[in-house]
Amino acid sequence: MLKLNKDKTKLIVFSSKQHAKKTENHRIKGGSNHIYFSMSIRNLGFIFDHTLGMEKQINYKCKYSYYQKRSKQLIRKYIIYETCKTLV
């Protein structure tokens, strides 16, 4: 029997924005757990939106890139030039 982690299991329906409003609060019963529809899911590092748009993925990558750049700026004064070249 397949066991699902109820905290991590999500269900997504790809549709237009108008149709997505109809499925926003729906759920499916799987065994003794309820699986709720989600507007976006993350799988293998990629964020899938219910409209297959790229907005959430791009926002996530921009935030992550800014964080990485900022963290390197903070430690730059503590490392030698050769190590800095390796990081970049």
Cα gap 48→43, rounded to integer Å: 8
Helix, strand, coil % over all residues of the chain, rounded to 5: 45, 20, 35
- pTM of structure: 0.60
Instruction: For 16-70, write each residue's pLDDT tens digit.
Output: 877 766 766 777 776 777 787 888 888 888 888 888 888 889 999 999 999 988 9
pLDDT higher than 70, residue 1 = no
